[in-house]
Structure 1
Amino acid sequence: MAEEHDHGAHMHMPPSDGSMSKHRMMHMSFYWGKDAIVLFSGWPNQDLGMYVLALLSVFSLAVAVEVLSILPAVKPGHKPIAGGLIQATVYAFRMGLAYLVMLSVMSFNLGIFIAAVGGHAVGFFLVKIRALAKAKPAHETMSSTALITPKV
């Protein structure tokens, strides 16, 4: 007997409890709605409040990925192995969060996708605004050197 294949936007997945009696659908294309499964089986479980929590969680994870992109500076005098270990630990944590965001986006839910992209954008903005605030504007450095340099 030949099997019928569903070539539509869904893929039949057996339930996680091991029973084969009922099937649930896994989306294989983008869709709107709160009926997503994000990271954990049964979450947010078509509950609007939990779906909003999932959106905020993915947004926060994406912001954290960008903020952690600034590795801690290794200060002179520290042992290179200790500094490298600290940077490697932060990097591993950042990559773990990035993979969680990626897996969330693989739910194919547009709300989750928008939350992830928005979180990355906000995190990038926070990182860049901090870097720009630390950098001295060119006109400040020009005027301070002009005052110090004697005219000949």
Structure 2
Amino acid sequence: MDGGHDGMHDMNGTEGMHDHKMMMMHMTFFWGKNAEILFSKWPGTRTGMYVLALIFVFVLSVLVEWLSHCRLIKPGSTQLAAGLIQTVLHAMRVGLAYMVMLAVMSFNVGVFLVAVAGHTVGFLLFGSRVFKKSDTEKVGSDLPPMTC
């Protein structure tokens, strides 16, 4: 019944030959460029693609912070327009934050470090007082703070 496959099963639980190498999924943090981040077989084993993946995660993290601190709703907007803009901004922020979280779940230390660095740089640029014109400048954003 086993057809000489020594009990090998494919992803559906059926027996069959495997034409591809299965990549091991890490469950602890590891160093290295050979990782899968967000998409199957991406970035692969090439160093340049790994660096591109790190830049991508960094930019996603900065964008999450920008969306968390931006002021895009114009004063005097109607309640409906302001509510729709706020809802779209919230959806974008949550979607990007989940993408960063899923990237970090690759357990790659480089990805973890660039995600933290991206959030840090984003907060420095958009949330901290470093680049505010004055203490009297209106503090706040169009979206409430993200909470756990």
* Structures share fold, TM-score greater than 0.5: yes
Residue equivalent to 2:30? 31
Q: Residue 135 of structure 1 aligns with which residue?
A: 134
Provide TM-score, normalisation by structure 1: 0.71
TM-score, reference length from structure 2: 0.73
Could you say which structure has the larger radius of gyration? 1
User: Which structure is richer in relative contact order (CA contacts within 8 A, separation 6 or more)?
Assistant: 2
- Structure 2: distance between partners of 1:129 and 1:96: 23
Cα distance in 1 between the residues matched to 2:109 and 2:17? 29
Identical residues among aligned pairs (%): 53
Instruction: Report which of the two has the higher share of helix.
Output: 1
* Structure 1 CA distance for aligned equivalents of residues 75 and 43 of structure 2: 47
SS at match of 1:25: coil
Distance 1:25 1:72, change over 3 A: same
Partner of 1:48: 47
Corresponding residue for 2:108? 109
- Unaligned residue ranges in structure 1 (runs of 5+): 1-13, 138-152
Letter in 2 for 1:72: R
Contact 2:124 2:130 survives alignment (8 Å): no
Deviation at 1:40, TM superposition (A): 0.5
Aligned residues: 123
Alignment gaps of 5+ in structure 2: 1-9, 137-148
Structure 1 counterpart of 2:112, which letter?
F
RMSD: 2.5
User: In the TM superposition, what whole-angstrom CA distance separates every residue of 1:23-57 from its partner, at most 9, and x where no partner exists?
Assistant: 32100000000011001100011110000000000
**2:118 equivalent to 1:119:** yes
Runs ≥4 residues deviating over 6 A: none
1:65 aligns with 2:64: yes
